[in-house]
Amino acid sequence: MMLYRAENLTFSYDDIRVLDIPRLDLPEGQFTALTGPNGSGKSTLLMILGFILRPSGGSLLFRDRKTDGWTATALQEARRQLGTLLQAPYLFRTTVERNVAYGLRVRGIPRHDISSMVSRAMHTVGLAGYEKRHHQALSGGEAQRVALARTIAAEPSVLLLDEPMTNVDSASRSIIERVLMEKNRDEGVSVIMTTHDLDQAYRMADEVVTLVKGTPSPGAMENVYNGAVYQSGSGWVFDTGRISIAVPGGKDGSRTASIPPETVLLSREPAVTSALNTFSGKITAIVQRNGSVDVSVDIGELLISRITDGSYRRLGIGLSDIVNVIFKAEAVRLY
Ligand code: ADP
Ligand code: MG
Answer yes or no: is pLDDT of 218 > 70.
no
Tell me: do 326 and 184 sit in the same domain: no
Distance 203 CA to ligand 1 centre (A): 26
Answer yes or no: is pLDDT of 219 > 70.
no
- Residue in 11, 16, 18, 194 to alter for ligand 1 test, most ligand atoms within 8 A of Cβ: 18
Tell me: do 131 and 278 sit in the same domain: no
Of residues 45 and 225, more confidently modeled: 45
Give yes or no for a contact between 224 and 248, defined as CB atoms under 8 angstroms apart: no
Which pLDDT belongs to residue 220?
46
Number of H helices, E strands in the chain: 8, 21
- Residue in 19, 43, 213 to alter for ligand 1 test, most ligand atoms within 8 A of Cβ: 43
User: Of 173, 188, 217, which residue is a domain's last?
Assistant: 217
Identity of the amino acid at 35: T
Atom in ligand 1 nearest the alpha carbon of residue 47: 6
Answer yes or no: is pLDDT of 204 > 60.
yes
Tell me: do 275 and 170 sit in the same domain: no
Tell me: do 250 and 203 sit in the same domain: no
Tell me: do 64 and 191 sit in the same domain: yes
DSSP one-letter string for 161-201: EESTTTT--HHHHHHHHHHHHHHHHHH--EEEEE-S-HHHH
What's the CATH code of the domain at 145? 3.40.50.300
Range among 50-64, 76-90, 272-286 with highest mean pLDDT value: 50-64
Atom in ligand 1 nearest the alpha carbon of residue 163: 2
In the chain, how many domains are there? 2
Name the closest-CA residue to atom 10, ligand 1. 41
Tell me: do 71 and 195 sit in the same domain: yes
Tell me: do 184 and 240 sit in the same domain: no
Tell me: do 198 and 289 sit in the same domain: no
Which pLDDT belongs to residue 232?
87
pLDDT in tens, 78-118: 999 999 999 988 899 999 999 999 989 988 899 989 999 99
Tell me: do 290 and 309 sit in the same domain: yes
Q: What are phi and psi of 223, to 5 degrees?
A: 55, 50
- Assign 196 a pLDDT band (cuts: 50, 70, 90): confident
Q: Give the Cα separation of 212 and 185 in Å (integer).
A: 29
Name the closest-CA residue to atom 22, ligand 1. 13
Distance 38 CA to ligand 2 centre (A): 7
Distance 44 CA to ligand 1 centre (A): 6
Name the closest-CA residue to atom 5, ligand 1. 41
Task: Establish whether residue 13 lines the binding site of ligand 1, counting it when its CB lies within 6 angstroms of any ligand atom.
Answer: yes
User: Of 182, 200, 217, which residue is a domain's last?
Assistant: 217
Looking at the chain, the whole-number percentage of residues with pLDDT higher than 70 is 98
Tell me: do 138 and 168 sit in the same domain: yes
Tell me: do 120 and 39 sit in the same domain: yes
pLDDT in tens, 143-171: 999 999 999 999 999 999 999 999 899 99
Task: Establish whether residue 43 lines the binding site of ligand 1, counting it when its CB lies within 6 angstroms of any ligand atom.
Answer: yes
User: Of 199, 217, 235, which residue is a domain's last?
Assistant: 217
Domain that holds residue 271: 224-334
In a 10 Å sphere around its CB, with 0-12 CB exposed, 13-18 middle and 19+ buried, how is residue 66 labelled?
exposed
Which pLDDT belongs to residue 221?
59
pLDDT in tens, 278-295: 999 999 989 887 778 999
Question: Which ligand has an atom closest to residue 163 CA?
Answer: 2
- What is the average pLDDT value for the chain, to the nearest integer? 92
Q: What's the pTM value of the predicted model, to 2 decimals?
A: 0.75
Q: Which residues pair with 11 in a beta bridge?
A: 19
- Residue in 44, 49, 209 to alter for ligand 1 test, most ligand atoms within 8 A of Cβ: 44
Distance 282 CA to ligand 1 centre (A): 34
Tell me: do 189 and 279 sit in the same domain: no
Arithmetic mean of pLDDT, 189-215: 88
Which pLDDT belongs to residue 152?
97
Which pLDDT belongs to residue 180?
98
Atom in ligand 1 nearest the alpha carbon of residue 40: 3
Give yes or no for a contact between 98 and 133, defined as CB atoms under 8 angstroms apart: no
Distance 112 CA to ligand 1 centre (A): 41
What's the CATH code of the domain at 300? 2.40.50.100
Q: Of 171, 169, 151, 168, whose CA–CA distance to 160 is shortest?
A: 151
